[in-house]
């Protein structure tokens, strides 16, 4: 892979790690800055070193971004949309290389790497259309010859702090919308996947440069220190954070403390209810992909199966059989289903969760374990496992970013729904049933309490057209489709008096 990856990095312009390459936009990092190594979880090898941004780099980037905003906000939204259209076209050209880099640097399967780049292309298409649809409402005034309407203005600089598991797509959901809305962006990618950040920045920088755009519209700053700077910076009115609930709590209070806004996409603890009226074959595929896809490292990964008692044993046996067929290994080899976890810390969390589960009474019907030796030389490959548990176990209430699936039995749908809702998180949920009454009850106000609720589809793999996000400890933010764009703008209510008197609202008389 090492040879291939050099070609991929070369094609993406990432090999030239001199910050000067990103003219047309900023990649904040000075020549003598400290570096971090990007290691591939696929084979444990170092891909490249990347410079960390210093506090001075941060200042310089914010200054440039402030200047760029003055220009960008006045460019008509459809013109901004046209730049995003060109970005989408550039992504189409780079899909194979970028998808391969995602797969190699993050460890997800090649198919999923390509799928992630496809999500980027899709959100660009969505944003291009949106650039002509930033609609506000008009209202009838209670006063004669008055007109009321509302309009949406950009916020300014949007800080985007993204996670390793979707190293490119989540940034683009945010940035494509933020840009057409008239904002400029500063991106801090995960320090575990910095090269994906550099590659994306290079692609957008080239598009911006070809259009003679000023520097500062798209900015990239690498290093964990940047997160704190963004969270505490009044010049950044909106921070979009994707990551754990623990860090999300810190981000959200820092940003709220300065009256900034945040969009939070935090942990999920997603369940599928498998009814006795489910299509079992479909349910097995949905459950297994949901649990082991991306090695269980999606915030939408399926963590719990809540299965009707009448089909429980049968389903359990079929599931065990399906797990027996899983091929674990190099994610770039398309025959494999499951790639590695991201790093040692992730492997430790996986092992810890299994141990804790066992102490609490979890009965493993498919055993886990860490794989070592050839071809698992990185040491980050683990066996997807399945355990029978009770919903109240502490470990079941937590999100473990690993392929561990918990089985829980239910008798009535009311009970299943309350088990599904009975966790602190509220991102994604699903029911597998061919029974219309059950499906509707699951989607009703008394049903799932999650931001995403699906019928006969698993919990992961949401399309970009819908608003993406969840409730409770998932943070309440919405990104991507539908009207999620409104979070990236400030709303202004305008009242215009075209009469020759000044009537006051609420009928108040004030004569001089
Ligand atoms: C995430 O895991 O942070 O719905 C995002 C999905 C993907 C996005 C997941 N479209 O699984």
* CATH number of the domain to which 226 belongs: 3.40.605.10
300 in contact with ligand 1, CB cutoff 6 A: yes
Distance (Å, whole) CA 299 – CA 284: 20
Best probe residue, ligand 1, of 118, 165, 166 (max atoms within 8 Å of C-beta):
166
Nearest atom, ligand 1, residue 242 CA: 3
Res 28: pLDDT = 47
Res 1: pLDDT = 60
Distance (Å, whole) CA 160 – CA 239: 6
Distance (Å, whole) CA 102 – CA 225: 23
Query: Which residue's C-alpha comes closest to atom 3 of ligand 1?
Result: 299
Instruction: Please tell me whether residue 468 adopts helix, strand or coil conformation.
Output: strand
422 pLDDT band (50/70/90 cuts)? very high
- The Å distance, Cα 440 to ligand 1 centre, comes to 25
A 10 A CB-CB count for 456 gives 15
For helices 2-11 and 77-106, the axis angle rounded to 10 degrees is: 170
Residue 497 lies in a domain: no
Q: Is pLDDT of 23 > 50? A: no
Res 22: pLDDT = 35
Q: Between residues 287 and 49, which one has the greater pLDDT?
A: 287
If asked whether residues 6 and 54 sit together in one domain, one would say yes
6 pLDDT band (50/70/90 cuts)? confident
- Host domain of residue 67: 2-266+475-492
How would you class 416 by CB atoms within 10 Å of its CB: exposed for 0-12, middle for 13-18, buried for 19 or more?
A: buried
Please tell me the pTM assigned to this model: 0.96
If asked whether residues 163 and 257 sit together in one domain, one would say yes
Q: Are 344 and 380 in contact (CB under 8 A)?
A: yes
Residue 310 lies in a domain: yes
Res 49: pLDDT = 86
Where is average pLDDT lowest: 23-37, 77-91, 97-111, 410-424?
23-37
Nearest atom, ligand 1, residue 119 CA: 10
If asked whether residues 403 and 292 sit together in one domain, one would say yes
- Residue 214 sits at the vertex; the CA angle it makes with 210 and 219, to the nearest 5 degrees, is 95
Q: What average pLDDT score do residues 291-304 get?
A: 98
Residue 156 lies in a domain: yes
Res 4: pLDDT = 84
- Residue 341 sits at the vertex; the CA angle it makes with 1 and 467, to the nearest 5 degrees, is 105
- Tens digit of pLDDT for each residue in 164-212? 999 999 999 999 999 999 999 999 999 999 999 999 999 999 999 999 9
**Average pLDDT over the chain, rounded to an integer:** 94
- The Å distance, Cα 236 to ligand 1 centre, comes to 25
Query: Which residue's C-alpha comes closest to atom 6 of ligand 1?
Result: 461
Q: Is pLDDT of 411 > 70? A: yes
If asked whether residues 204 and 353 sit together in one domain, one would say no
If asked whether residues 213 and 283 sit together in one domain, one would say no
If asked whether residues 192 and 293 sit together in one domain, one would say no
Residue 412 lies in a domain: yes
Residue among 105, 119, 215, 265 flagged as catalytic? 265
Residue 445 lies in a domain: yes
User: SS3 helix, strand, coil % of the chain, rounded to 5?
Assistant: 40, 20, 40
Residue 469 lies in a domain: no
Distance (Å, whole) CA 102 – CA 171: 13
If asked whether residues 222 and 294 sit together in one domain, one would say no
Res 43: pLDDT = 95
- The Å distance, Cα 450 to ligand 1 centre, comes to 14
Q: What average pLDDT score do residues 289-311 get?
A: 98
Q: Which long-range contacts (CB under 8 A, 24 or more apart) does 74-78 make?
A: 75/182, 77/131, 77/132, 77/134, 77/180, 77/181, 77/182, 78/131, 78/132
Q: Is pLDDT of 110 > 80? A: yes
Best probe residue, ligand 1, of 115, 462, 466 (max atoms within 8 Å of C-beta):
462
162 in contact with ligand 1, CB cutoff 6 A: no
Q: Is pLDDT of 367 > 50? A: yes
Nearest atom, ligand 1, residue 163 CA: 3
Q: How far is CA 174 from the centre of its chain?
A: 9
Residue 503 lies in a domain: no
Quote the number of domains for the chain: 2
462 in contact with ligand 1, CB cutoff 6 A: yes
Res 342: pLDDT = 98
Which CATH number fits the domain that encloses residue 418? 3.40.309.10
Res 5: pLDDT = 86
If asked whether residues 296 and 189 sit together in one domain, one would say no
Q: Is pLDDT of 2 > 80? A: no
Best probe residue, ligand 1, of 112, 272, 468, 480 (max atoms within 8 Å of C-beta):
468
The answer to whether residue 59 is catalytic is no
pLDDT > 90 in the chain, percent: 90
If asked whether residues 68 and 133 sit together in one domain, one would say yes
Relative to beta strand 238-242, strand 261-265 is parallel
Res 24: pLDDT = 34
170 in contact with ligand 1, CB cutoff 6 A: yes
Q: Is pLDDT of 300 > 50? A: yes
460 in contact with ligand 1, CB cutoff 6 A: yes
Q: Is pLDDT of 370 > 50? A: yes
Q: Are 271 and 302 in contact (CB under 8 A)?
A: yes
- The Å distance, Cα 166 to ligand 1 centre, comes to 7
DSSP structure string for 64-85:
HHHHHHHHHTTS-HHHHHHHHH
Backbone angles phi, psi at 105, to 5 degrees: -80, -30
If asked whether residues 329 and 238 sit together in one domain, one would say no
A 10 A CB-CB count for 374 gives 5
Q: What average pLDDT score do residues 247-266 get?
A: 98
If asked whether residues 248 and 374 sit together in one domain, one would say no
- The Å distance, Cα 192 to ligand 1 centre, comes to 18
If asked whether residues 445 and 323 sit together in one domain, one would say yes
- The Å distance, Cα 300 to ligand 1 centre, comes to 6
- Tens digit of pLDDT for each residue in 28-79? 445 566 888 999 999 999 998 888 898 999 999 999 999 999 999 999 999 9
Q: Is pLDDT of 19 > 50? A: no
Put residue 80 in one of left, alpha, beta given phi > 0 → left and psi -120 to 50 → alpha: alpha
Distance (Å, whole) CA 51 – CA 35: 4
- Tens digit of pLDDT for each residue in 210-226? 999 999 999 999 999 99
Res 282: pLDDT = 98
């Amino acid at each position: 892979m090492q040879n291939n990856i050099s070609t991929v990095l070369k094609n993406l312009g990432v090999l030239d790690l001199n910050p000067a390459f990103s003219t047309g936009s900023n990649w904040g990092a000075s020549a003598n800055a400290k570096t971090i190594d990007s290691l591939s979880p696929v084979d444990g090898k170092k891909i490249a070193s990347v410079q960390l941004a210093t506090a001075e780099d941060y200042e310089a980037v914010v200054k440039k971004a402030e200047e760029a905003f003055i220009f960008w906000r006045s460019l008509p939204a459809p013109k901004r949309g046209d730049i995003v259209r060109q970005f989408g076209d550039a992504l189409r050209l780079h899909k194979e290389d970028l998808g391969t880099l995602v797969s190699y640097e993050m460890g997800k399967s090649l198919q999923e790497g390509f799928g992630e780049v496809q999500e980027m292309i899709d959100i660009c298409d969505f944003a291009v259309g949106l650039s002509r649809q930033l609609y506000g409402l008009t209202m009838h005034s209670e006063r004669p010859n008055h007109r009321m309407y509302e309009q949406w203005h950009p916020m300014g600089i949007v800080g985007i702090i993204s996670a390793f598991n979707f190293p490119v797509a989540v940034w683009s959901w945010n940035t494509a919308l933020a840009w057409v809305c008239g904002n400029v962006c500063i991106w801090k990618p995960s320090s575990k996947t910095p090269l994906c950040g550099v590659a994306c920045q290079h692609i957008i920088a080239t598009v911006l440069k070809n259009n003679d755009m000023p520097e500062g519209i798209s900015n990239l700053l690498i290093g964990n220190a940047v997160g704190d700077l963004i969270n505490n910076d009044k010049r950044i009115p909106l921070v979009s954070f994707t990551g754990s609930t623990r860090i999300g709590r810190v981000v959200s209070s820092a940003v709220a403390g300065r009256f900034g806004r945040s969009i939070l996409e935090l942990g999920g603890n997603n369940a599928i209810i498998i009814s006795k009226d489910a299509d079992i074959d479909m349910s097995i595929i949905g459950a297994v992909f949901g649990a082991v896809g991306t090695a269980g490292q999606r915030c939408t990964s399926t963590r719990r199966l809540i299965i009707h008692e009448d089909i429980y044993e049968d389903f359990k046996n079929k599931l065990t059989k399906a797990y027996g067929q899983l091929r674990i290994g190099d994610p770039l080899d398309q025959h494999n289903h499951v790639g590695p976890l991201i790093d040692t810390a992730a492997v430790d969390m996986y092992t810890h969760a299994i141990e804790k589960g066992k102490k609490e009474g979890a009965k493993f019907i498919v055993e886990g374990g860490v794989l070592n030796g050839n071809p698992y030389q990185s040491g980050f490959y683990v066996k997807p496992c399945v355990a029978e548990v009770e919903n109240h176990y502490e470990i079941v209430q937590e999100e473990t970013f690993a392929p561990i699936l918990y089985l829980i039995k239910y008798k009535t749908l009311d009970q299943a729904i309350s088990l599904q809702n009975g966790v602190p998180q509220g991102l994604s949920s699903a029911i597998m049933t061919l029974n219309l009454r059950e499906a509707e009850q699951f989607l009703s106000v008394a049903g799932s309490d999650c931001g995403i609720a699906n019928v006969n589809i698993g919990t992961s793999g949401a399309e970009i057209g819908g608003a993406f996000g969840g409730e409770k400890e998932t943070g309440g933010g919405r990104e991507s489709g539908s009207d999620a764009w409104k979070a990236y703008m400030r709303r202004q209510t305008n009242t215009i008096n075209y009469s020759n008197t000044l009537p006051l609202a609420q009928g108040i008389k004030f004569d001089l």
